[in-house]
Structure 1
Amino acid sequence: MRLPRILLSFCLLGLCLAPCAALANAKKITFGYLVADQLHEPAPMIMKNLKLLENRGYEVKWQEFLSGANLVQHMASGEVDYGTGGAAPVLTFRGLGLDFVMLASSNTNGSALIVRKDITSPKDLDGKNVGTPGIGSMQDALVDKVAEAHGIKVRKRNMKVSDMPLFLQKGEIDAFVAWEPHVSRAEGLGYGHVLLTSQDVLPNHQCCVLVSREKTVNADPQMAADVLDVYLEAMAWFDQNREEARRMISKATGIKAEDVAKAMERVTYPEPPYLDETSMVMLVDSLVSSKKIKKEHVPDSAAFVKNMVLRDMLEKHLKK
């Protein structure tokens, strides 16, 4: 009886160790996303909740960032493999010579300029304090576009987007540009009103994107394929389960479901998720004009954008 018991013990030990061994052999990946931005970029939330990457054998570190500029800085240093964030910081860092690439769209439009109740036109913002998520963010670029179009100067204040409604309510800023649902949240609380949407400032502009670096994609093509596959799976789930997605977003952000529903009306989720290259060319021209990118680094804006969009890869995966 002793031998069978010993064999049984080893078998049970083997069963216990198998998951640990599988975990130890799992590929590690760090995926970044923006704080409280599940409405603009729902795919990471869904990928995380449904364990889509983990189900493919990956050990995932989910990392949250205050803005797209923060995310791409950490990606530039090699701390993040893939992530979702605004197109503006991705374009800016590519303009600085880094090998950033875009794999798919998350959304277009979806941001807005919300102001104090007594402000009725962009001219009223001259000399005023405007909150943004920081230099290099899409929202920061939108502020520049508004200031340039109306011949005004504003004082930018960088802050966490979820804090912006409170700063507006306290009078510490006169306006802010943020992604939804923080705009609708401020409206719902009665702290301000929308003066301009991002659609008004830059129609159909590319907002959040799935981003990585060329060397990351080329170093492990299978990982790149898996990330894009589960990203597309998550976006398809989002499109087919909007009500449940709203509840998930509300829970993740702490924002009322009705404000989330209102916010979603200002956001466009392209299907299939092709990137809007035309709006990104306009954005690059704006970044060059504001000297965030040197003109000598971007002799041809259209070619610059085209070279960083992995459209062939996206089309291949859409045909699966």
Structure 2
Amino acid sequence: MALATGCSRADSGTAPATQAAQAQGPAEVRIGYFPNVTHAPAIIGVKKDFYTKELGSTKLSTTNFNAGPEEVNALLGGSLDIGFIGSGPAINAFTKSKGTIQLISGAVSGGAQLVTKPEITSVDQLKGKNIATPSLGNTQDVALKKLIAEKNLTDVKVTNLDNPKTLDAYKSGQLDGAWLPEPWSSRLVLDAGAKVLLDEKTLWAGGKFPTTVIIVRSEFLQKYPQTVQAILRGHIKAIDWAKDNEAEAKTTVNAALKELAGSTLSQPVLDSAFKSIELTTDPIASDFPQLAKDSVTAKIVKDVVDLKGFADFSALNEALKATGKPAVDTAGLEK
């Protein structure tokens, strides 16, 4: 951990061979993300070559995941270097790795809703209902189970399903609702007749919460800080481009969803999904202590995680500085 988070990237004690490796970069960097609108910066960064243009001779390899726990396992197993992931699984990765997975950037704020059958008009009416989330322990699973615990809704059935299966299950009447990220929440509303019972934005100060963030294996960050900076420069440029070219950004993401998930979104769904998210490099670090507490309330974990050392924004802030943008605050989560 001291090596991963405490040392200067230009430490004069670094061995010459290590310095040469940092300068040259790895042969390959492996990143993971989901085929979701809430991972739009990753999709755009890959499809518009923002990452590859920054990486130079380093090859970019990508892997797609349906939910955070799967991606965490890939990071812990060493088959992935950098991951776009939900805030809940990001905390879980830090915990399971004993501090060797770290938060390095934000990607998307907002874009998650609890949607239900139209006849359900209040949270109290969830009693006895079957509500889906994408995966056990993922960000939306924690949010739903926290709500259930706070409202003492002990007889709510929580079903974990892949997002496409959730849509089919809702259409067939097997589900009463779901807590989902975009575009799936909008798909249930516009394609299957559900309604938004609760937008997660209403639960957070200023309507901002970290839906998608970026984490990295600390070993990779320590060994190849310049490569991580290159990825983050591409990430910043992807977000800036998407904000300046909204229509083309939507088209790019929709085409990628066709390639990765097998189908495109209707224009109303695409517009609705993009309207509910904010693309941002700020991971809103100040929210993470509360998110750690939420996992306990949701009975996903027994104890509140000590997040000291979770955030290392050195690479991000160098990348932001290079593009003339202000630094991001770690909110006390640094080493």
Q: Give CA-to-partner distance per residue, 1:100-158, whole Å, 9 cap, x none.
A: 21111111111001111221111111232111111221110110122123210322211
TM-score by length of 1: 0.83
Provide structure 2 residue ranges, at least 5 long, that are not aligned to the other structure.
1-24, 258-263, 323-335
Pairwise mapping of residues 99-178 of structure 1 onto structure 2 (< 5 A)? Answer: 99-153=100-154, 154-178=156-180
- In the alignment, what sits opposite 2:47? 49
Q: Once the 2 structures are TM-superposed, how far is the Cα of residue 291 of structure 1 from its aligned partner?
A: 4.2
Q: How many Å apart are 1:311 and its aligned residue?
A: 2.6
Tell me the distance in 2 between the aligned counterparts of 1:269 and 1:261.
14
CA distance in 2, matches of 1:249, 1:185: 15
How far 1:252 sits from its partner (Å)? 2.7
**Of 272, 275, 285, the match for 1:265:** 275
Do the aligned residues in 2 keep the contact of 1:92 with 1:292 (CA within 8 Å)?
no
- AA aligned opposite 2:276: R
Q: Which residue identity lines up with residue 120 of structure 2 in the other structure?
A: I
**1:208 CA displacement:** 0.3
How many angstroms apart in 2 are the aligned matches of 1:26 and 1:216? 9
- Asked whether the equivalents of residues 87 and 211 of structure 2 are also in contact (C-alpha less than 8 Å), the reply is yes
Structure 1 residues 80-110: Cα deviation after superposition (integer angstroms, max 9, x where no partner):
1112010110102222324221111111111
Q: Does residue 1:210 correspond to 2:214, yes or no?
A: yes
Distance 1:71 1:157 in 2: 20
Amino acid at match of 2:275: E
Q: Give the drift of 1:221.
A: 1.8
Counterpart CA distance in 2 for 1:65 and 1:266 is 22
- The CA deviation at 1:251 is 2.4
Q: Number of residue pairs matched?
A: 286
The corresponding residue for 1:225 is: 229
Summarize the alignment of residues 281-292 of structure 1 with structure 2, pairs less than 5 Å apart.
281-292=289-300
**Aligned partners of 2:90 and 2:294: how far apart in 1?**
14
The yes-or-no answer on 1:192 pairing with 2:194 is yes
Q: CA deviation at 1:195?
A: 0.3
Q: Write the letter of the residue equivalent to 1:208.
A: T
Structure whose CA Rg is larger: 1
Secondary structure of 1:104's counterpart equals strand
Unaligned stretches of 5+ in structure 1? 1-24
1:258 and 1:250 map into 2 onto residues whose CA distance is: 12
User: 1:92–1:293: 8 Å Cα contact kept in structure 2?
Assistant: no
Instruction: Provide the residue aligned with 2:63 in structure 1.
Output: 63
Q: 1:211 to 1:26 in 2, by over 3 A?
A: closer
- 1:224, 1:150 → 2: CA distance? 42
SS at match of 1:251: helix
SS of structure 2 residue aligned to 1:91: helix
Distance in 2 of aligned mates of 1:311 and 1:131: 34
- The one-letter code sitting in structure 2 at the alignment partner of 1:82 is I
TM-score by length of 2: 0.80
Query: More helix by proportion, 1 or 2?
Result: 1
SS at match of 2:38: coil
Taking every aligned residue pair, what percent have the same amino acid on both sides?
A: 21
Contact in 2 for aligned 1:76/1:98 (Cα 8 Å): no
